């Protein structure tokens, strides 16, 4: 029986990775010019990190985390997100001593045992940033605008940015009681999951997708009404900074997000292009997290976005953009020997993207390969040409062709290259 990949964990083939690398390069550049430095943390961490950071009553920790006991009886887990590891590393390496505000970014895989569907995998890639050290709303605005501008930069304009403030942990607690009071009138109409959440994590009920529960939640008291004057000022200032940057948003007072660590600002960017898994990215402030993990009290904010969802929204045509400088068609062993040598010279001396045939197929089929790869030039080395120690250079767009001596044929491309470089 064939062994297949694990459900929800997908291979990225060369036709995918080409586009992924292009986007990753853009992201590295985008984050660098915003003053963020890359952090790479292990894929496996102690389970306790996520239990404490994300929250034991969240779906991510409770149901979706891949966690097991190591040989030394330590419970370890595949990371379900990258904020907790980044914060752990920040504390472990005393990064607070280096800068007042530490700006980190990451691109890497995360794992959640969710039900796979379009835009939802069990292994997925996240890119994201964490800014650790600033409590001020200008930092919130920078983070939100960065998240938004990446999509704009990539030409995705069907965007819906939603923001909210969940206040401090005291405000959250106060609101939890108010919400529970309200929901107690509808307890019989809630699903089993929501009934369970009512006791363990009532704010999560606001995320319910059920139409009946949405009706109930619609009239629930708003968390924004619980914010104290300082929290309200922070939220208002964040909005003013976003207005100033011309970032369009709507306020949704039910946006609490599925991780427990958020305080004050929360946000999500959705796209109409994605179907039911429409969240391109999500983030928010987590002012208590560093202290909770044994560090100092340091306010922070960040976001993460799913690479697969970004690629879906971009709707790449896999073949789009393939471009080859030269394809060498060779017929017969002697021609192959020459092809290998010419490939070597073109690549090593001129840095030209060149390919040759490795299937010893017919002239016609090799020409088809050249066309498929969108080659700009083809070098033809048939038996006849080899006898005469020449090769034919054909410009694919015009069909023009001429002969050149075999031992200096690569030099023609040096001239072409310097023309293009000017």
* Beta strand extents in 232-383 (DSSP E only): 250-251, 263-271, 279-285, 300-306, 324-330, 354-356, 375-381
Task: Name the residue nearer to ligand HAM (CB basis): 262 or 377.
Answer: 262
- The nearest distance, CB 258 to ligand HAM, in angstroms, is 6
Task: Name the residue nearer to ligand HAM (CB basis): 81 or 142.
Answer: 81
- The nearest distance, CB 159 to ligand HAM, in angstroms, is 13
| b/e map 125-155, b = 16+ CB within 10 Å | bbbbbbbbbbeebebbbbbbbbbbebbeeee
The CA distance from 92 to 344, in Å, is 48
- The nearest distance, CB 300 to ligand HAM, in angstroms, is 8
The CA distance from 207 to 399, in Å, is 61
- The nearest distance, CB 290 to ligand HAM, in angstroms, is 13
C-alpha closest to that of 166 among 288, 248, 87, 284: 284
Task: Name the residue nearer to ligand HAM (CB basis): 202 or 282.
Answer: 282
Task: Name the residue nearer to ligand HAM (CB basis): 89 or 350.
Answer: 89
Query: Tokens at residue 372, please?
Result: 């498929």
- The nearest distance, CB 302 to ligand HAM, in angstroms, is 3
C-alpha closest to that of 193 among 61, 53, 58: 58
Task: Name the residue nearer to ligand HAM (CB basis): 49 or 350.
Answer: 49
161 with 140: CB under 8 angstroms? Answer: no
57 with 260: CB under 8 angstroms? Answer: yes
- The nearest distance, CB 118 to ligand HAM, in angstroms, is 10
Torsions phi, psi for 281 (to 5 deg): -160, 160
- The nearest distance, CB 33 to ligand HAM, in angstroms, is 20
Q: Which residues bind ligand HAM (CB under 6 A)?
A: 81, 83, 112, 114, 119-121, 124, 126, 128, 130, 258-259, 279-284, 302-306, 308-309
What secondary structure letter does DSSP report for 73? S
Task: Name the residue nearer to ligand HAM (CB basis): 117 or 189.
Answer: 117
Task: Name the residue nearer to ligand HAM (CB basis): 232 or 279.
Answer: 279
């Amino acid at each position: 029986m064939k062994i297949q990949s694990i459900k929800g964990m997908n291979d990225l083939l060369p036709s995918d990775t080409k586009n992924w690398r292009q986007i990753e390069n853009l992201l590295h550049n985008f984050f660098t010019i915003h003053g963020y430095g890359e952090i790479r943390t292990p894929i496996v961490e102690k389970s306790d990190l996520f239990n404490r950071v994300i929250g034991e009553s969240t779906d991510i920790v409770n149901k979706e985390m891949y966690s097991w006991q190591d040989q030394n009886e330590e419970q370890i887990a595949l990371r379900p997100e990258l904020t907790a590891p980044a914060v752990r590393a920040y504390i472990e390496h005393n990064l607070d001593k280096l800068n007042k505000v530490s700006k980190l970014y990451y691109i890497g895989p995360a794992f959640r045992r969710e039900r796979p569907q379009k835009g939802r995998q069990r292994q997925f890639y996240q890119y994201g940033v964490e800014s650790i050290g600033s409590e001020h709303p200008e930092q919130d605005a920078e983070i939100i605008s960065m998240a938004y501008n990446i999509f704009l930069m990539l030409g995705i304009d069907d965007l819906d940015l939603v923001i909210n403030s969940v206040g401090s942990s005291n405000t959250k607690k106060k609101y939890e009681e108010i919400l529970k009071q309200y929901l107690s009138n509808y307890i019989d109409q809630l699903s089993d999951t929501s009934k369970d959440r009512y006791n363990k994590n009532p704010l999560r009920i606001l995320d319910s997708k059920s139409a009946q529960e949405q009706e109930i939640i619609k009239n629930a008291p708003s968390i924004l009404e619980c914010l104290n004057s300082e929290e309200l000022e922070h939220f208002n200032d964040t909005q003013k900074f976003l207005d100033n940057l011309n970032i369009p948003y709507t306020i949704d007072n039910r946006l609490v997000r599925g991780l427990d660590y958020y305080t004050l600002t929360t946000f999500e960017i959705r796209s109409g292009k994605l179907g039911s898994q429409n969240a391109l990215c999500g983030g928010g402030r987590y002012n208590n997290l560093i202290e909770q993990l044994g560090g100092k009290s340091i306010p922070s904010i960040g976001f993460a976005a799913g690479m697969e969802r970004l690629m879906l929204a971009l709707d790449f045509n896999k073949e789009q953009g393939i471009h080859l400088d030269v394809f060498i068609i060779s017929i017969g062993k002697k021609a192959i020997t020459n092809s290998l040598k010419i490939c070597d010279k073109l690549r090593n001396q001129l840095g030209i993207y060149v390919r040759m045939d490795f299937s010893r197929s017919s002239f016609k089929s090799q020409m088809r390969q050249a066309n498929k790869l969108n080659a700009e030039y083809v070098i033809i080395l048939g038996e006849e040409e080899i006898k005469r120690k020449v090769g034919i250079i054909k410009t694919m767009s015009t069909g023009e062709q001429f002969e050149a001596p075999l031992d200096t044929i690569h030099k023609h491309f040096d001239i072409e290259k310097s023309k293009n470089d000017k």
